Amino acid sequence: MNLLKLRILELLDRHKQVTAVAKALNMSQPTVSFHMKKMESEWGVTLFEAKTRRIYLTNAGKMLLPFAQQMGALHAEAEAALGELKDSGRALVRIGCTDCALATLLKSDWLAETDRLGGIRVKVIKEDEQSLGRLLEANRLDLAICGQPLTDTEHMQRMKLLSSPLKLLLPTDDPMSRPGADLSMALLRHPLIEHAERSIADLMMPWMTLRQESASSGATLDSVEWIMHAVRSGRGMAVLPECALPLHRDGVASTDLPGHPKDWTLYASWKSNYWNAPLMESLVFSLQASAAASAR
């Protein structure tokens, strides 16, 4: 089944009329109808059904639709990447970051650093760690940056970009933010606003075990910005990597966690068979330098 037929399936789901699909593709209505019948013949199932002058997907068609959409998106990405290389001589590099990774990099002038490499244009996508792993494995990303190394296989390379201590965040008017306060009690009793990133949750596990019966639950958010706002508003405390904290923290006090927790580590991961290995290595080294600068 070719891309045209899958595109017809997508458009029929959207427009519900053969005439509208034919117009969108600049084709004749009989040609679209021919491809519809050809699809059903090739797959051996009924994909379309007519109801009150409209065309709907059958269950089989609905099952096929997500695959058609994914293949269409991949084709569009391939066209965009090749078009960029053809028109400007620059390679499109798709970088996936978690929220904390992006917050860390945005504190530095990392985009200017990538410009200095020359020959690339960066597209940044924000996703959670699990999604980044799937996208990288499926070649939907060229580089993934997050707080845990992705699946370590012989087909994947990774580099540590930085390590950063975790910081306890409290409103500046909270008594626990004063010097000498017993922060272990804050960890046990204050509502905790958690970041959704798994790498942070793993490091917080010892405290979470102690908190289970002694503290009220807060919220789980996937944004450093939202967490800072929630802490500033007095909704609870939070724990974030120091490198991801914004430069301006009005209303929020940050202090060391009690004990000696492990540092949060930021990694870059990419496929070993990336088509331009020297370019990828230069980009990762540039990101490493930018990440280190943001952590100072």
Question: Does the domain made of 166-256 have the CATH classification 3.40.50.10490?
Answer: no
pLDDT in tens, 47-88: 999 998 899 999 999 999 999 998 888 888 888 878 777 766
**Residues of CATH 3.40.190.10 domain(s) within the chain?**
90-163+264-295, 166-256
% of the chain at pLDDT higher than 70: 88
Q: How confident is the model at residue 36 (pLDDT cuts 50, 70, 90)?
A: very high
- pLDDT, position 74: 83
The pLDDT mean for the chain works out to 85
Name the token pair of 225: 């910005």
Its CATH class, for the domain covering 3-77, is mainly alpha
Q: Which tens digits make up the pLDDT trace of 87-137?
A: 667 788 999 999 999 999 888 777 777 777 777 888 899 999 999 998 998
For 197-255, how does the pLDDT look when each residue is reduced to its tens digit (9 = 90+)? 999 988 887 766 655 555 556 789 999 999 999 999 988 889 999 999 998 888 998 88
When mean pLDDT is compared across 33-42, 138-147, 287-296, the lowest value belongs to 287-296
Tell me how far apart the alpha carbons of residues 136 and 156 are, in angstroms, rounded to a whole number. Answer: 9
pTM of the model: 0.76
CA 136/CA 114 separation, integer angstroms: 20
User: What are 106's two structure tokens?
Assistant: 């945005």
Q: Where in the chain is the domain with CATH 1.10.10.10?
A: 3-77
181-199 residue pLDDT tens: 666 666 666 788 999 999 9
The CATH superfamily holding the domain 90-163+264-295 is: Periplasmic binding protein-like II (3.40.190.10)
C-alpha 96 chain-centroid distance: 5
**Burial (0-12, 13-18, 19+ Cβ within 10 Å), 78:** exposed
> What is the rounded distance in angstroms from the CA atom of residue 65 to the CA atom of residue 9?
7
Are the C-beta atoms of 164 and 155 separated by less than 8 Å?
no
